Amino acid sequence: MSKTALLFAGQGAQVVGMGRDLADQIPSAKAWFDKANQVLGYDLASVCFNGPDGELTKTEHAQPGIYLASWVAFQLLRERVPGLPFGATAGLSLGEFTALAAAGARSFEDGLKVVRQRGRFMQEACDVTRGGMAAVIGLDEAPTREVCDEAGVVLANLNCPGQLVISGEAERILKAVDLAKAKGARRAIPLPVAGAYHSPLMASAQPKLQAELNAVTLQPPGVPVVSNVTARPHGTPDEIKSRLVDQVTSSVLWEASIRYLLSQGFTRFIELGPGTALSGFLKRIDKSAQMLNVADLGSLESTARALSAG
């Protein structure tokens, strides 16, 4: 039998309308969206379903919105496939919080409240800095690190071979883009983001997030949850909190996280939440791995069929 790992979407995957067809047609999905509105005290569901895009892309809405849409996808798949077999979870940046909830390390409600606050703290850090990010396509890690050193920026995401993201002060990012192109990058593109995520410019968010995490109860995960910071499974609840705080300014080691799971014998991966970015990364890492996803009603049904077939 295939060993299955669940993967959860990160910020940037948000799209107006996410989860709407599920909530319209499946009562249990609507119940989760209603519950989230009650927990947060505002209509997050409407922002997810109707936007406008400018509201949904605000960090304080995008983070809980993606967490919620991903959680609903996970719960509906469990309904469709009773006893859903999975042996590990991982999530890209924000998605790590959903991965921890899915593994039983914290409640859905606590996770939702924490990611709402995380989004606010990160937005506040963006507001007091002039940061930016850029995708570097078609350049290996070593020359990209040379670009970062020369421009004074950092590697934020190591997503898959040939797909890296850099982060730092906005003016330095523009310099890094030119340097990356000069070193042979196929493309180097500034990203439409509010600030320099996963860089030292986010440091002001860390003590605030630490306080939020200290106020909630964490349990040891029921299955291994791979940390973005170490590309290895999380440890004790206190260690989990420390790694989640570190994650705010640390590089996201996504390719290394997937390679760790592959080394542990995982051959089937299910992406839960809006978009298929993680599926695209996996194809670049290991074409032989099986990738399924749940983002809407159609993908829910097709993934449930594939799992039921064995």
How far, rounded to the nearest angstrom, does the alpha carbon of residue 97 sit from its chain's CA centroid? 8
Selecting among 61, 70, 167, 198, the annotated active-site residue is 198
* Rounded Cα distance, 216 and 161, in Å: 37
* Amino acid identity for residue 245 in this structure: V
Place of tokens 């705010």: 248
* Rounded Cα distance, 193 and 91, in Å: 19
Selecting among 70, 93, 199, 251, the annotated active-site residue is 93
Q: 17 is written with which tokens?
A: 């309308």
* Amino acid identity for residue 268 in this structure: R
How many CB atoms are located within 10 Å of the residue 3 CB?
16
279 given a catalytic annotation: no
93 given a catalytic annotation: yes
Helix runs in 13-94, H state only: 20-25, 27-40, 44-50, 53-56, 59-80
How many CB atoms are located within 10 Å of the residue 308 CB?
9
* Amino acid identity for residue 307 in this structure: L
Place of tokens 């003590």: 207
How far, rounded to the nearest angstrom, does the alpha carbon of residue 134 sit from its chain's CA centroid? 17
Q: 32 is written with which tokens?
A: 């989760």
DSSP string, 288-310: TSEEEEESSHHHHHHHHHHHHT-
* Rounded Cα distance, 137 and 279, in Å: 17
Q: Which residues are designated catalytic?
A: 93, 198
